[in-house]
């Protein structure tokens, strides 16, 4: 990277982080690409930890994605190894070999099968991963493992991120206290279909893999798959949930077991918090934008329309310029390819209805909308007037900072 990137004006401080029973982490400098900072994160999980994951749908995934998909065919995880600076994408057989070498080295340290080691890489595409640097750094990473190193781990996996991202929840399952804690990275190349970020959540709850996977997939749909920064779905991204089982709660029977209601709500809330932190760190972002669509023919249709608005460069630049140009929102609805009727369409910004059923509201006063546009948290609401479908997505504005960051990413 070139010159340092200023911290996003939308940044949030880390919450009060704690420990998760059965999880130890470390962060070291392996020199994969960056100099003078940590760039390798290692996590160790207690034997018997089960794992669930959701991965990018990009058709050109990196070698670590292929590795993790295969690793997840068995229910267990003993370690997670993540490097920043090199994505290990579009590297052919060399990329697969790098994964095999790293997994073998970690599995030897923890005396576990290589498929119990999960791998991730984030950074530049198309450059061979210098896996020997990573392997050489593993003894220091193992020596530094500590249950309190969550912040250090969050910082080690950052690329163009300007602040570390983490969240925590404490709940109960059948009266047994359990904890969820997670970290994420992501700033650009962020779009739905599990992209573009890395997110890792751990819990001490005892939940079978099939139930854990069901809960994670459902929670992802309304969080990480409902955010976008630039509409670009990454090649490397994943959301992985590790459950150590050390809380030793009573067994649960399925994802809809009443005993899991509190846990499920906490998981969904934590995933959404992490996802919104990614949006708030969008490259060059100065404003967070929430887009609500109601009255669509279906929830699926509403989601597509919301994304059409959230991904529109014209909408995003108008908001960056604090211009309440609602006509651009109408344009984005119309280009979505979903059912829409101009004469039933209504648009609001900041809770003020600007247009109703195809026309400007009589005696519309733009002053409250102008005031809303000067804030950091922008709300856009669209009602199609066609049915009961609804959706909510989050995005950020588009500024020259995005060009500055991405124009010099490899230099």
Q: Which residues are annotated as a binding site for substrate?
A: 159, 185, 196, 283, 406, 411
Burial of residue 65 (CB within 10 Å: 0-12, 13-18, 19+) is: buried
Taking the C-alpha atoms of residue 174 and residue 155, their distance in angstroms, rounded to an integer, is 35
Give the dihedral sign, CA 306/14/30/282.
Answer: positive
Helix (H, G, I), strand (E, B) or coil at 261: helix
Phi, psi torsion values for 299, nearest 5 degrees: -65, -40
Instruction: Name the one residue in this structure whose structure tokens are 């918090």.
Output: 273
Taking the C-alpha atoms of residue 194 and residue 182, their distance in angstroms, rounded to an integer, is 16
Element (DSSP H or E) covering residue 220: helix 209-221
Q: Which residues contact 46 (CB under 8 A, 6 or more apart)?
A: 21, 22, 23, 244, 245, 246
**Which residue among 162, 196, 203, 395 is the active-site one?**
196
Q: Respond yes or no: is residue 196 known to be catalytic.
A: yes
Element (DSSP H or E) covering residue 24: strand 23-28
Binding site: which residues?
A: 159, 185, 196, 283, 406, 411
Q: Are 122 and 87 in contact (CB under 8 A)?
A: yes
Active site residues: 196
């Amino acid at each position: 990277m070139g010159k340092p990137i200023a911290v996003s004006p939308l940044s949030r401080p880390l919450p009060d982080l704690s420990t998760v029973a059965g999880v130890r982490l470390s962060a070291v400098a392996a020199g994969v690409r960056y100099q003078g900072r940590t760039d390798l994160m290692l996590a160790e999980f207690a034997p018997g930890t089960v794992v669930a994951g959701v991965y990018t749908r990009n058709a050109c995934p990196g070698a670590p994605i292929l590795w993790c998909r295969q690793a997840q065919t068995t229910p267990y995880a003993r370690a997670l190894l993540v490097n920043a600076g090199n994505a290990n994408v579009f590297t052919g057989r060399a990329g697969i070999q790098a994964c095999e070498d790293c997994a073998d080295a970690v599995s030897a340290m923890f005396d576990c099968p290589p498929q119990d080691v999960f791998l991730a890489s984030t950074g530049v595409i198309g450059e061979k991963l210098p896996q020997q640097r990573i392997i050489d750094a593993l003894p220091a990473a193992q020596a530094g493992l500590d249950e309190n190193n969550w912040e250090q781990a969050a910082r080690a996996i950052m690329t163009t991120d300007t602040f570390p991202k983490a969240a925590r929840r404490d709940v109960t399952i059948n009266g047994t206290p359990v904890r969820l804690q997670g970290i994420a990275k992501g700033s650009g190349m962020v779009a739905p279909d599990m992209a573009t970020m890395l997110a890792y959540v751990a819990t001490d709850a005892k939940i079978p893999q099939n139930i854990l996977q069901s809960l994670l997939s459902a929670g992802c749909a309304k969080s990480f798959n409902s955010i976008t920064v630039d509409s670009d779905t990454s090649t490397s991204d994943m959301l992985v949930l590790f459950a150590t089982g050390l809380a030793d709660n009573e067994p649960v029977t399925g994802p809809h077991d009443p005993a899991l209601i509190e846990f499920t709500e906490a998981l969904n809330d934590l995933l959404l918090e992490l996802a919104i932190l990614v949006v708030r760190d969008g490259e060059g972002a100065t404003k967070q934008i929430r887009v609500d669509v109601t009255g669509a023919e279906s929830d699926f249709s509403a989601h597509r329309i919301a994304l059409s608005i959230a991904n529109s460069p014209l909408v995003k630049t108008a908001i960056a310029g604090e211009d309440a140009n609602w006509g651009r929102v109408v344009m984005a609805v119309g280009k979505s390819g979903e059912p829409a009727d101009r004469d039933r369409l209504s648009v609001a910004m900041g809770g003020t209805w600007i247009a109703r059923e195809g026309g400007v509201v009589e005696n519309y006063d733009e002053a409250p909308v102008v005031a809303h546009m000067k804030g950091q948290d922008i709300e856009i609401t669209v009602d199609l007037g066609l049915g009961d479908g609804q959706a909510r997505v989050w995005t950020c504005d588009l500024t020259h900072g995005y060009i500055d960051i991405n124009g010099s990413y490899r230099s």
